Structure 1
Amino acid sequence: MSKKITEVHEITSQELLKTIQACIKAEFAANQISPKEQSIDWLTRNEAAKYFGVSLVTIYNWTKEGILTSYKISNRLRYKKSELENILLNSNKEASE
């Protein structure tokens, strides 16, 4: 196995440290997920029903018809709040047209 040796001339340890930190920050910034994607608000079936002001049967039917998308998390159905908001906004736009 060969070893590579890199020599750094005319730079202080503090300058080297700052350069390395700047490179690391730049890499993290380039690969960072937006805050909106990081935090997903999940709603239960009951919470989704309350959000729309409908019954659990209606939530079940909407899911079965493909109006709502459910996600199985730990053997329980959950709904993304952002998707429910989009459905509500789109239905309001269609109703006003």
Structure 2
Amino acid sequence: MEKNITQLHDITPSEFQESLIRHFEFRLKEILERLDNNSKDKLLTREQTAEMLSISLGTLWSWTRKGILISYRIGNKVMYKQHEVYESLVRINHSKTSHNG
């Protein structure tokens, strides 16, 4: 396997991190803006939400319990609104930005 090495000059590690966070926040906001009203209210199962976030069901439950994500009970099913999951990602990234500054 060939390794590629990338060197950055004239930027501190924290400046690079801030730049990455700003980029991801911008991309997430773009995704939210592209969602039309029909897909904004799309409901996701626990499994779909965990898969979308690439996390385990245990982590999903923990994030829900901590209030990071909002869940809705419909009968005996727990569901998540797709646009609220995306908005939570923006909030998570924003809070990391303010704690590292």
State the TM-score bracket (shorter-chain normalisation).
0.5 to 0.7
Shift of 1:66: 1.8
User: Where in structure 1 are there 5+ consecutive unaligned residues?
Assistant: 1-34
The one-letter amino acid paired with 1:63 is T
Q: Which residue matches 2:15? A: none
RMSD of the TM alignment (CA)?
2.1
The one-letter amino acid paired with 2:53 is F
Return the alpha-carbon distance in structure 2 between the equivalents of residues 46 and 67 of structure 1.
17
Aligned residue runs from structure 1 range 1-97, under 5 A: 36=37, 40-97=41-98
Higher Cα radius of gyration: 1
Q: Which residue matches 1:14? A: none
Shift of 1:63: 1.3
Return the alpha-carbon distance in structure 1 between the equivalents of residues 77 and 59 of structure 2.
18
User: What secondary structure does 1:77 align onto?
Assistant: strand
Return the alpha-carbon distance in structure 2 between the equivalents of residues 50 and 37 of structure 1.
21
Q: Which residue matches 2:8? A: none
TM-score (norm 1): 0.55
Number of aligned positions between the proteins: 63
Shift of 1:51: 1.5
Whose RCO is larger (CA < 8 A, sep 6+)? 2
User: Where in structure 2 are there 5+ consecutive unaligned residues?
Assistant: 1-35
The one-letter amino acid paired with 2:67 is G
**CA distance 1:69–1:96, shift in 2 (3 Å):** same
